[in-house]
Amino acid sequence: MAREVTPEQIEMLEAMVARARKAADIIATYDQARVDRLCQAVAAAVVDMKVWANLADEAVDETGLGDKVTKRNKRNKLKLILRDCLRQKSVGVIEEIPEKGIVKYAKPVGVIASLVPTTNPCLTPAGQVIYAIKARDVIICSPHPRAKKVTNKCINIIRETLVREGAPADIIQGIEDPSINLTQELMKRCDLVIATGGRPMVKSAYSSGVPAYGSGAGNATVIIDNTCNTPEYQAEAASNTRISKCSDFGSGCSCDGNLIISAEIYDDFVKALVKEGAYLANEKEAEKLKNVMWDETGHRLPNTVAISPQKLAEAAGFTIPDDRKFIAVTGGGMEGVGKEHFFSSEKLTTLLTLFKYEGEFQNALDMMQAIFNVGGKGHSCGIYSWDDDHINRLGMCAPVSRIMVRQPNNRGNSGSSTNGMPPTSSMGCGTWGGNIVSENITLKHYMNTTWVARPLPEDMPSNEELFGEFNKPDMDVE
């Protein structure tokens, strides 16, 4: 049951917002060079491996979620965020379009309320504060209760860095003892909400009465088509699968959940997956896994989220070798897809479902659509193909905001050094996923923009040009 907010907590919250607004008034006066330097200082303080490794370890210890080794890799996202920030303008004129007579000016949005997920308790606030500083905003974080210690530790490292640079520490703050009701009170008092997490959190943000960006649920699905027909291609695709599936023990919504594999290459590709560390569960083991991952209604049980494949197998009542990186179950064909088939829904752990499609590529597209009807619409999918027509057809019909081609979904979706996706830890999923935008939440979403328009020569085509065959000679006569 949600805790009631006490008068003392309201007083504490209002004091935090007041301090945030004072800090906002100060950072709003900074020029481009000053904010860029602050972004660099904050990023350097957290990305330092001696700091980040400790934060990663403490995050796993406090939450019980994820993998200490691969969680270290998430610091690379902060480097990418800094890279993009340093390449963009955010103070004064940020864009000019002479042919349109348009000049755009950036303005801060003000005080941001950040709802921090338990799966990324340090990456999210660190990445968001870099964008916030760049846009001359301030941010108040509401950590997940299960990760409040490590989130606030990360925030305090950033605050100390800000003070050393002569900037207000209150550019970022964190609630020390968060609760659902306290978070709701925070959102009401801010200018913008960024909610990174599950649907209940996002719904709460959208119900706050304050402009909000949210993310949607994932069920990342990758098509492996018949052009993946050489040992080299299969090895690469299987490696991409392992990387995406195993990152932080599958805790991320971008981690591969389902593979749709062409029957022409299915057997060989499964062998490639085994070489990459897959354990193929038999029917009895799959049934045991289903029983510890979902309740009878298909609700995901928390105790098996983001744990190692060995612990997942142990929870289900069997053992697997220590060298196995993830567990794969056979989903079958289209008959294995549906809300009653739990393995076609989001897993959020080190388990992958393998589906087989026969014949034409359209059958793969149909299966993809059916899987997203189970869950994950709006988030992401991928394809390993060398056929541009197949890639284009997937792009035309997939109900998702991002599609990764021949690369790990978990790395590519939120931006990487080898693709052009904007780096972030918050991914909008469009109206499919109940979000207002279908793009990565990045710097432009942290700014208000003023458009200044100068007059141009009149630009109005004739009625004949505008209406074509629907034009009437007396179109303008009253």
| Residue 213 · residue 445 · CB < 8 Å | yes
Give the pLDDT of residue 320.
Answer: 98
- Residues with catalytic roles: 253
Distances (CA, A) of 201 to 116, 334, 354, 357, 435: 10, 32, 31, 36, 12
Could you say which DSSP state residue 16 is in?
H
Rounded distance, CA 243 to CA 256, Å? 9
What is the C-alpha separation between 324 and 277, in angstroms, rounded? 5
> Residues 390, 383: contact at Cβ < 8 Å?
yes
pLDDT at 330: 95
**Helical segments of 189-256, H only:** 199-206, 231-246
**Which residues of the chain are modeled with pLDDT < 70?**
1-2
* Nearest C-alpha neighbor of 242 from the set 401, 43, 411: 411
Residues of the chain with CATH 3.40.309.10: 221-414
pLDDT at 197: 73
Please choose, from the candidates 430, 370, 425, 368, the residue with its C-alpha nearest in 3D space to the C-alpha of residue 402.
430
Of 312, 205, 177, residue with least CA distance to 250: 312
Nearest to residue 257, comparing CAs of 368, 349, 129, 169? Answer: 349
HSE value, Cβ hemisphere, 13 Å, CA-based, for 363:
16
Q: How far apart are the first and last CA of the chain?
A: 65
| CA distance linking residue 423 with residue 420, whole number of Å | 9
Collapsing DSSP states into helix, strand and coil, what is residue 218? coil
Dist CA 460 CA 385 (whole Å): 45
Let me know how long the chain is: 478
Q: Tell me the per-residue pLDDT of 10-43, one tens digit each, with 9 for 90 and over.
A: 999 999 999 999 999 999 999 999 999 999 999 9
pLDDT, tens only, 103-124: 999 999 999 999 999 999 999 9
Where in the chain do CATH 3.40.605.10 domains reside?
7-215+439-452
* CATH hierarchy code of domain 221-414: 3.40.309.10
Query: How far apart (Å, rounded) are the C-alpha atoms in residues 108 and 445?
Result: 10
**CA 355 to CA 368: how far, in whole Å?**
10
Q: Which fold has domain 7-215+439-452?
A: Aldehyde Dehydrogenase; Chain A, domain 1 (3.40.605)
Cα–Cα distance for residue pair 379/254, rounded to 1 Å: 8
Q: Please, which residues bridge with residue 221 across strands?
A: 258, 381
pLDDT of residue 2: 60
